[in-house]
Amino acid sequence: MAQVTLRKVVKKYDEVLAVRGIDLDIVDKEFIVLVGPSGCGKSTTLRMIAGLEEISDGDIAIGGDIVNDVPPKDRDIAMVFQNYALYPHMNVYENMSFGLKLKRTPKDEIERRVKQAAQILDITELLDRKPKQLSGGQRQRVAMGRAIVRDPKVFLFDEPLSNLDAKLRVQMRTEIKKVHQKVRTTTVYVTHDQVEAMTLADRVVVMNAGLIEQVGAPNDLYHSPATKFVAGFIGSPAMNFLPCQLEQAAGALRVRLSDKLSFPVPSDRTARYTSHAGKSGLVLGLRPEHIAETRPHVEPNQHDFDMAIDVVEPMGMETLVYFTINGTEVCGRVNPNAGAADGKPMKLRADLSNMHLIDDASGKVL
């Protein structure tokens, strides 16, 4: 069993708080991704789990044992670094077996494990090459191989794909997922790329300014973000945030975006939102895919409106349209054949059943 538990973990550099008291329970064999903008404390958290950074306060437990003062080598973890950190003077085999040799593992056992890991990662023919003779993707595999042969309780990945080009990154992303399916080991993976986070994770941990904003399955984060930060961070293009008012008229709630534009709130949300009617500082969150071109068939909670398009960005399988409501730029995703054109008016349709109402002051999704 290799669950990882963080309790009120704090990291202070001199007077700067990098991590401000986080709680996290990672269950056995789970793939957890820590994601957030640079400087949010995600790498620091990973390094604290690894034991490369001392924790200033709180507790970290691996497999039930508190490891606050345990050196990295005794935590039974393996780490893959952003720049691979392969030993340049050793060949692939030596790189992968270094940790086992230090543990005085028998030679034939080392050989068996290295061969097995090399097979999983498809690097068998590279075993006697030096790191500088390998491509970026191959180095990344070797770095993973070095982690796998140790058969640790926890894998730690620190932005392992950041140094690869876009195409290889997608390929290696799939590779990492496959490896995790073959070698089911508790994994903590740090990235600033929300796509990587969404595609790899069993659960995503979104961090911001040294705190955890939300923990959840990728789809839960996407569809029911807890805060404005998560709503804006997950998803590309990002969610639209429109300053709005909540009006109550004749027993029905409406979100008003401008003098001319307002939409009725879906009936199943009315009870939840009623108490916020008339309040200031509210923001409507609506993802670009919930603003599309109009269609003949009308679903409940979908409402048509006319808008002059500012800019059109054809993406191939879809076209992004940008327009302005009350001074705020809004993005919508329409069918490439819907006839969107720069500067032309267009009939669009908003799907309010996926709306989010956000209190701008607290940043909470209501």
Partner 1 sequence: MADAAVATASDRAASRPRYGSMSRDRRWALRWSYFFLILFAIFFLTPPIYMFITSLKTSAEISAESNPWWVYNPTLSNYIELLTQNTYLTFFRNSAIVSVITVVITMTISVIAAFALARMRFWGSATLATGVFLTYLIPETLLFIPLFKMFAWVNETFGIQLMNNWWTMLILYPTLTVPFATWIMIGYFASIPKELDEAALIDGATWMQTLTKIFIPVALPGIIAATIFTFTVSWAQFLYPLAFTTSTTELVLPVGIITTLIKGDVFNWGQIMTGALLGAAPPLIIYAFLMDYYIAGLTAGATKG
Binding site for partner 1 (CB under 8 A): 50-52, 71-73, 77-79, 81-83, 85, 87-89, 98-99, 102-103, 146, 150
Whose structure tokens read 């690869």? 164
Burial of 104 (0-12, 13-18, 19+ CB in 10 A): exposed
- As beta bridge partners, residue 264 has 254
Whose structure tokens read 């340049």? 88
Shortest distance, position 73 Cβ to partner 1, whole Å? 4
Task: Let me know: does 225 contact 68? Beta carbons within 8 Å.
Answer: no
Region of 281 (left: φ > 0; alpha: ψ -120 to 50; beta: rest) is left
Shortest distance, position 132 Cβ to partner 1, whole Å? 12
Shortest distance, position 174 Cβ to partner 1, whole Å? 25
Length of the chain: 366
Cα 78 to the chain's mean position, in Å? 21
Shortest distance, position 242 Cβ to partner 1, whole Å? 44
Residue 182: CB atoms within 10 Å: 10
Cβ proximity to partner 1: between 101 and 364 the closer is: 101
Residue 275: CB atoms within 10 Å: 10
Cα 305 to the chain's mean position, in Å? 33
d(CA 251, CA 127) in angstroms, rounded, equals 72
Q: Which two tokens stand for residue 114?
A: 């290295």
Cβ proximity to partner 1: between 79 and 331 the closer is: 79
- As beta bridge partners, residue 49 has none
Shortest distance, position 214 Cβ to partner 1, whole Å? 29
d(CA 72, CA 305) in angstroms, rounded, equals 59
Strands of 224-269 (E only): list them. 240-249, 252-256, 262-264
Cβ proximity to partner 1: between 159 and 351 the closer is: 159
Shortest distance, position 190 Cβ to partner 1, whole Å? 14
Cβ proximity to partner 1: between 52 and 261 the closer is: 52
Cβ proximity to partner 1: between 139 and 287 the closer is: 139
CA angle in degrees (0–180, nearest 5) for 206-210-212: 35
Shortest distance, position 63 Cβ to partner 1, whole Å? 16
Cβ proximity to partner 1: between 103 and 260 the closer is: 103
Cβ proximity to partner 1: between 78 and 330 the closer is: 78
Cβ proximity to partner 1: between 98 and 322 the closer is: 98
Cα 14 to the chain's mean position, in Å? 29
Shortest distance, position 67 Cβ to partner 1, whole Å? 13
Identity of the amino acid at 247: E
Cβ proximity to partner 1: between 72 and 237 the closer is: 72
Shortest distance, position 155 Cβ to partner 1, whole Å? 11
